A and B are shown apart, each in its own frame.
Chain A
Amino acid sequence: MGMKKNRLERRHLMEAFMKALMYISFVIVAGALGLILWTIISRGLPSLTWDMVSQVPKGGYYMGKEGGILNAIIGSLYLAAGGTLLAILLSLPIALYLKTYLGQSKWGEYVRLSLDVLWGIPSIVYGAFGFALMIAFGMRASLLAGILVLALVELPIMTRAMDEVIRRMPADLEHAALALGSTKFEVALNVVTRQMLPGIVTAILLAFGRGIGDAASVLFTAGYTDRIPTSLMRPTASLPLAVFFQLGSPYPEVRERGYAAALILTIIVLAVSFGARWLSGRLNKYTIK
């Protein structure tokens, strides 16, 4: 019969090869992720006490005595939330403007290119840039400075991620709204944003993830302190720096706490991801598939 598969035929070999390649890639990625999680959990979990998340460092904390890293948890939440909020205020209008008025034009491509370049700049450079500005204005390390620099770090990621989402807006849908006499701005505001909301939420999330995990940009700009910031002008601690400082400690107990801080950071990112996914699932109700 002519319908039996000849397993040695080139096309089938190719298919088997590609399948194996994809499988191996997946195993490598999943394995790396698993290993990272396992390291953080196995070394961090034993030190993850209630004190860790409910106390600020007490005297002797950095030599393994009492206290926790509530200062860094709150600090990081303030920094990342502030930076992300600020970045949204700039990114969404830029992404909508790119789509609505620049489209695939030359200028649109220039803007995209500059954003891609900004994306690639290491965050320590943003930190140094922010620091230079702070010195020029006579500002000291503060929550505000940290938020501003984080917003800059997040801006290119968020804008480009939104842009990629918004670009996939079905033309039919836009035309439907234009046909009713909408201006382009009204289409952007009422239709594009609604249709693309789940994707926009994902873009925000991506940027938040980068913001909360970034150590280099807040190193000079937000500083580090054992106190929870009470105003925008005070310096603040952050989780990535808490990880960094503690892992460099000569005391084993403190290093363990570094892993615990990393675990807390991971849990926060996961919680925000799931929250956002749940939210965008609910927002999904009306989008056109």
Chain B
Amino acid sequence: MDAHIQVKNLDAYYNKQQALKNVNIEIPKNQITVIMGPSGCGKTTLLKTFNRFFELTENTKLTGEVLVDGQNIYDKDVDVTEVRKVVGLLAQRPSPLPMSIYDNVVYGMHLHKMKKDRKEYKEAVRHYLEIAGLYEEVKKRMHDPATSLSIGQQQRLCLARGLAVEPEIILGDEPTSALDPISSQNIEARLLELKQQYTTVIVTHTLRQAKRLADYVIYMYLGEVIESGPAKEVFGNPKHERTKQYLEGLF
């Protein structure tokens, strides 16, 4: 397997309480990996260690390694803003920045000085809004506040904004759970389109969504990874009793 992210001996603690226990996994490149497990098992925590968001919570401790393309993102000489540029995040609830639609998309590109002039920025904004499937709906109101969009549109705006900084990895923590069914489908369709170019890691509680999206599955329970493997194997023939029970909806 061509692993994009490798997690080695990862332990994570909130205060003194351990939320991740010796996690060792590999996440395949340019596929969709779905993390599943009951509430409170550490899915969000695991995801947050991939873009160094875990350290934003006070009184936390992390040991072990997270390698992206072989580079440990927790090394002392690694620039956290570079990590977050490479590892993008689609949050649970869309959270547009207090700016216009256009400025939301252009914001990250400006930060990293990714284009030469206004014209290039403008073209890039259009490009990423098209990829996110939002361009047609907003092309006449680029300078309206981002909050004037519907929640589903806002989430697609957040996707466009995240893609605009040219990440290699997209993280999504239940990215459709705040959306209506049509908007969810829309986001799912985008993620499937994008998976050839991006390594995608999604947390979801809906088994059906997991089955629609997943190429690779990680099943967690009480801070431990119980089982991980290609979707076909995990869904078709789970090795562990707990995974089987979860998939059968027993808890």
Contacts and interface: CB of A to CB of B under 8 A. Distances in A.
Contact of B112 (A177, A181, A190, A286): A181
Contacts of B99: 194, 286
A122 to B, nearest CB: 38
B98 A288 contact: yes
B97 interface: yes
Interface stretch (B84-92, B127-135, B226-234): B84-92
Contacts of B56: 175, 178
A9 interface: no
B95 A176 contact: yes
Interface residues of B, number: 29
A288 B146 CA distance: 9
B98 A179 contact: no
A181 B98 contact: no
Given A175-B95, A179-B91, A181-B111, A286 B85 contact: no
B145 A285 contact: yes
A180 B85 contact: yes
A221 interface: no
Nearest to B94: A176
Interface size class of A (residues with CB under 8 A): 20 to 34
Contacts of A81: none
Contacts of B49: none
Contacts, number: 72
Contact of B84 (A173, A179, A288): A179
B147 interface: yes
Nearest to A174: B56
Max chain B C-beta neighbours (<10 A), residue from A176, A180, A287 = A180
A219 B58 CA distance: 48
B51 A179 contact: yes
Interface string A132-173: 000000000000000000000000000000000000001011
B108 interface: yes
A190 B98 CA distance: 9
A75 B172 CA distance: 59
B111 A179 contact: no
B82 A181 contact: yes
Nearest to A186: B111
B53 A195 contact: no
B108 A173 contact: no
B95 A181 contact: no
B147 A289 contact: yes
Interface in A165-213: 170, 172-173, 175-183, 186, 190-191, 194-195
A237 B106 CA distance: 50
Given A191-B97, A288-B96, A288-B98, A181 B107 contact: no
Given A179-B89, A194-B97, 19 more contacts: A173-B98, A175-B56, A175-B91, A176-B96, A176-B158, A177-B97, A177-B107, A179-B88, A180-B108, A180-B161, A181-B81, A181-B84, A181-B112, A182-B111, A191-B98, A286-B100, A286-B145, A288-B97, A288-B98
14 contacts: A172-B93, A178-B53, A178-B84, A179-B53, A179-B162, A180-B111, A180-B161, A181-B82, A181-B84, A181-B111, A186-B111, A285-B145, A286-B145, A289-B147
